[in-house]
Amino acid sequence: MTLKKLTFVSLILCLFISCNSSENETSVKKIPSVTTESKNQIKKVTKNYESHEKLKSQPKNWSDIKNSGYIRALKLSWEQEKHLPRSGSTSLVHRELFEDFAEENGLDVKWIMVDNLELMLDALKNHQADIIPRHLSITSKRAKDLSFTQHLSKDKEVLIGRSKISNLNKQSITVKLPAESSYIDTAKKFFPEWQIESMDKAVNSDDLADMIANKQIDYTILDQSAVEVLQSYRTDIKVIHTFPEETYQAWAINKERPEFLEKLNSFISTHRLQSSKQSIRTQDLEAIKKNSKTIRMITRNSPETYFLWRGELMGFDYDLMKEFSERHGLYLDVVVAETYEEMLKLLKQGKGDIIAAGISRTEKRATESEFSIRYNRVDEQIVAHNESVPIKTKSDLKGRTIWVRKSSAFWPTAKVLEKDFGIIIKAADESTSTELLIGQVANKEIDLTIADSNLIAIEQSFRDSLYTPITLNEDIPWAYIVRKGNPQLLNAINAFIRKEYRGTWYNVVKNKYFSNESKKQEIRSERIISGSSLSPYDTIVKQHADPYDFDWRLIVSQMYQESRFNPKAQSHAGAVGLMQLLPRTAHELGYKNLKKPEESIMAGIEYLNWTRERFEESLPPEERLFFALAAYNAGYGHVKDAQKIAKQLNLNPNKWFQNVEVAMLKLQQPKYYKTVRFGYCRGSEPVDYVREIHQRYLGYVTVTQ
């Protein structure tokens, strides 16, 4: 991992945020500048990531790889953080498949980050790496220098732009393409009159679409599958032309490595995938195992079912289906839908295999679809603010106002309350999720709503102002839905539920998401006497923060926010140690024991620096730091999404307070999160996170000057 030369000498946090409890306004106050001497360029190579610049030519055959204990794999820089798959994810599936190959052969993976395809191909040709484990198109030009595995997928290539062209053959257009990409050969073959401009740095498909939408470029070429995913959540790009020839994709290795190639092909033959995007299928479980090796889960992007947190895919339904798929030797693809009706349609069309989305099994629904046995039970409950007029019985609901969407399962329940107890029903906007309705109750914007007990448990872990005075309906079963005519899959999922339901593993997963114990630490300002130490780890923090030009007091403030200085802290989501990193993230940075204070501090500082460097150097240093803190908390992708939304709202996308933080809160609303790459995010978390760290830091500065 290359750490670029830091571009500023000091970190100056010059905004003082004070929230008025009644008006929630923000004031600005200058503080004294905090300066440090500029540092020499850091050249650190961790155990699991290497910089392309430091690589040496080391030819390796299979026996050398085995003896070394690791395999050197190439990855484009932007691929480090996962995105939210909406209909499977080619890059994620390839990565998981390759990591399975490494694990099966007792090897660690040493990832080598490069900025573009040209560097990637050169590194492999020059024996600076062992493999490119991604969906690399096989071309005759590449085949001269590299060996390819068996085909792993196939696709077509498409030209995209802002608007369609009536006659491509009569127009000379300028197409922007990554250097050394197969798209260049395709364009030259079919339209030699086109002007091709190369990009020095590879960017993801969403960023390319942004460049088109923002008129930075006119046209580019992408794989059809990538464009289909883009068009599932954005409407500002058009398919101009689909090229006729199919492209086959595989992994690439050095030439003259027959034993290595044989090992890879043998593994692929056993675990071969058939991309779920390439075919509509209605096969039962045994045929899926034999032919495609992937099972497609249809679900919602929501805090109960499936979401992205700190670059990791999570969710109660996602975790259960991930375990089910692994036990059957399958990979899991995810297909995101917005409504129950859309889920049923995708299932019927053969675009998914099972609906796992917290669906309530009712008598009416059970006559229309093939439901599994229950895998969870929830209660329907009234949600009220704890300062509102008390509710002891249903008779106390008379004259109260309840807000529910007409399309939700709670509408019929509300209608009964209206008829029997005189409650007033208000139809909530269909774009307002139940989570947001609960938030409106917490903020005293509406009187009451109805929600299921699981979602209420999530919200109560973040909000102290909610209570549930009445349970309306008890033990409503959640169940999976499969296609009629797929008895093997139905029997397998029922067997999985019977074995795990309410068992130890199941309860651990359920408590991870729905435990009533607070998942959010109670952050209280501790009194610090001038001249005293800020934490038990000040010396360690000073030592490791300094080379990265971080003010050590900022890191201490962040550490308090994350763990309250408890080195054994572990979050509900599996984050560990003083700086609360996920073990996988830490391992990829080269750190393995996060319960050791120094190792956790080093990993946290390095990860914060990595998030900072992903934001533009042109940003003011303090803004770049605010964005880095938000990305540390919620993930880089969610912050980038918030910047896009800020621009749409005519806010400043390069300023955090009162601008991007406002847009961040919008990521809890379906109206917004359905239109961005990384989907749903509990935006209030990073907003509170940055504000509280900043305020505490300002206090630390005052007492340590």
Question: What is the Cα–Cα distance from 636 to 615, expressed in whole angstroms?
Answer: 9
SS percent in the chain: helix, strand, coil, step 5? 40, 20, 40
Does residue 58 contact residue 193 with C-beta atoms inside 8 Å? no
Does residue 514 contact residue 458 with C-beta atoms inside 8 Å? yes
Question: What is the Cα–Cα distance from 500 to 522, expressed in whole angstroms?
Answer: 33
**Residue among 49, 38, 42 nearest 4 (CA):** 42
Question: What is the Cα–Cα distance from 571 to 548, expressed in whole angstroms?
Answer: 27
Q: What are the residues whose beta carbons fall under 8 Å from the beta carbon of 539, sequence distance 6 or more?
A: none
Report residue 531: phi and psi, to 5°: 95, -15
Does residue 135 contact residue 153 with C-beta atoms inside 8 Å? yes
Q: What are the residues whose beta carbons fall under 8 Å from the beta carbon of 126, sequence distance 6 or more?
A: 57
The total of other beta-carbon atoms located within 10 Å of residue 605's CB is 22
**Residue among 398, 400, 358, 365 nearest 383 (CA):** 400
Quick one: how far is CA 137 from the chain centroid? 26
Report residue 582: phi and psi, to 5°: -75, 140
Residue 479, both tokens: 């169940």
**Bridge partners of residue 566, in order along the sequence:** none
Q: Which long-range contacts (CB under 8 A, 24 or more apart) does 450-453 make?
A: 450/380, 450/381, 450/382, 450/383, 450/402, 450/404, 450/410, 450/413, 450/414, 451/380, 451/381, 451/383, 451/410, 452/358, 452/378, 452/379, 452/380, 452/381, 452/476, 453/378, 453/379, 453/380, 453/381
CA dihedral of 468, 474, 480, 481, whole degrees rounded to 10? -110
HSE-CB for 78 with a 13 A CA cutoff: 15
Q: Which one of 500, 562, 588, 606 is the catalytic residue?
A: 562
Question: What is the Cα–Cα distance from 586 to 609, expressed in whole angstroms?
Answer: 13
* Residue 562 among the catalytic residues: yes
Burial zone of 233 (CB within 10 Å; 0-12 exposed, 13-18 middle, 19+ buried):
middle
Question: What is the Cα–Cα distance from 416 to 403, expressed in whole angstroms?
Answer: 14
Amino acid identity for residue 77 in this structure: S
Catalytic residues: 562
